[in-house]
């Protein structure tokens, strides 16, 4: 089966610009996660969807980050405006039952 | 609170066993996981253990869980150079959200 697809793989933007990331989860997986992984740290959950509803967005900086999962399949994560400290790898993951989460390769964002 | 801790580095000789340790705080976690991350790649689920188990073995991997001490370990037998990577332990929180809390990761370096 195909894995979790993410695009783009890399993105370089200037601070205060906007950026969007896209994720296509594994077919049939109802749960979708966006994680932020800063260099040298473990992934931190930003937002979790169950189908097209938000389950947990307690650690999402809502003044600049937004995410949506229209139709309960693909998802986009947006940052507007970006700050230097947003430089990180943004990982998308999906799961069917919650016991196993499968991760995409991530999008590496560099804000200069 | 939610906190998962790991030692930062481990260096072993090829053919030896590696033991990566992790401590967690949420005693009501349902599952505990080990993920592997190679450079520039996403996270690969290696194995997971249900919280009512003490041990799980999967080929070269052995997971030990001490619930009393909230200690999880991953033993890799006959470590190979291809095992060089960052290993993350993660706990599944007790809430219904199936949120994964990751440790900071242990960088395993295997030398010939």
Distance CA A39, CA A52 (A): 30
pLDDT of residue B36: 96
Q: Between A100 and A45, whose confidence is greater?
A: A45
pLDDT category of residue B92 using cuts at 50, 70 and 90: confident
Distance CA B56, CA B65 (A): 9
The three-state (H, E, C) secondary structure of chain B, written as one string? CCCEEECCEEEEECCCCEEEEEEECCCCCCEEEEEEECCCCCEEEEEEEECCCCEEEECCEEEEEECCCCEEEEEECCCCHHHCEEEEEEEECCCCCCCEEECCCEEEEEEC
- Give the long-range contacts of residues B6-9, CB within 8 A, separation 24 or more: B6/B87, B6/B88, B6/B89, B6/B103, B6/B104, B6/B105, B6/B106, B7/B106, B8/B104, B8/B105, B8/B106, B8/B107, B9/B106, B9/B107, B9/B109
Average pLDDT, chain B: 90
* Cβ pair B100:A106 closer than 8 A: no
Q: Closest residue of B to A53, CA-based?
A: B97
Distance CA A85, CA B20 (A): 30
Average pLDDT, chain A: 93
Is the per-residue pLDDT at B27 higher than 90? Answer: no
- Nearest-by-Cβ selection for B104 from A33, A42, A98: A42
Structure tokens at B101: 């809390």
pLDDT category of residue A104 using cuts at 50, 70 and 90: very high
pLDDT of residue B28: 78
Q: Compute CA B95 distance to the chain's CA centroid, rounded to the nearest angstrom.
A: 21
pLDDT of residue A109: 98
Residues in B closer than 8 angstroms to A48, CB to CB, are: 97-99
pLDDT of residue A64: 97
pLDDT category of residue B97 using cuts at 50, 70 and 90: low
Q: Mutating which of B5, B99, B105 best tests the A interface, going by the most A Cβ atoms within 10 A?
A: B99
Q: Mutating which of A21, A33, A42 best tests the B interface, going by the most B Cβ atoms within 10 A?
A: A42
Residues forming a β-bridge with B55: B64
pLDDT category of residue B41 using cuts at 50, 70 and 90: confident
Is the per-residue pLDDT at B94 higher than 70? Answer: no
Q: Output the CA angle B92-B98-B104, nearest 5 degrees.
A: 40
Tens-place pLDDT, residues A26-41: 999 999 999 999 998 9
Distance CA B3, CA B15 (A): 32
* Cβ pair A33:B42 closer than 8 A: no
Question: What mean pLDDT comes out for the span B14-42?
Answer: 90
């Amino acid at each position: 089966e195909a894995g979790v697809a993410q695009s783009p793989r890399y993105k370089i933007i200037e601070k205060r610009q906007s950026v969007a990331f896209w994720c296509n989860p594994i077919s049939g997986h109802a749960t979708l996660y966006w994680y932020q992984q800063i260099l040298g740290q473990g992934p931190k959950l930003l937002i979790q969807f169950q189908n097209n509803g938000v389950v947990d967005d307690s650690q999402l900086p809502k003044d600049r980050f937004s995410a949506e999962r229209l139709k309960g399949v693909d998802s986009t994560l947006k940052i507007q405006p970006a700050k230097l400290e947003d430089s990180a790898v943004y990982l998308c993951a999906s799961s069917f039952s919650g016991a196993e989460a499968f991760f995409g390769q991530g999008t590496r964002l560099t804000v200069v | 609170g939610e906190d998962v801790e790991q030692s930062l580095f481990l260096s072993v000789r090829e053919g030896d066993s590696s033991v990566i340790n992790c401590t967690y705080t949420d005693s009501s976690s349902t599952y505990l996981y080990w993920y592997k991350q190679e450079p520039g790649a996403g996270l690969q689920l290696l194995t997971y253990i249900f919280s009512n188990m003490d041990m799980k073995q999967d080929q070269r991997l052995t997971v030990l869980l001490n619930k009393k001490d909230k200690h999880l370990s991953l033993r890799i037998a006959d470590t190979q150079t291809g095992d060089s990577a960052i290993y993350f332990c993660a706990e599944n929180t007790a809430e219904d959200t199936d949120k994964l809390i990751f440790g900071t990761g242990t960088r395993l370096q295997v030398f010939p």
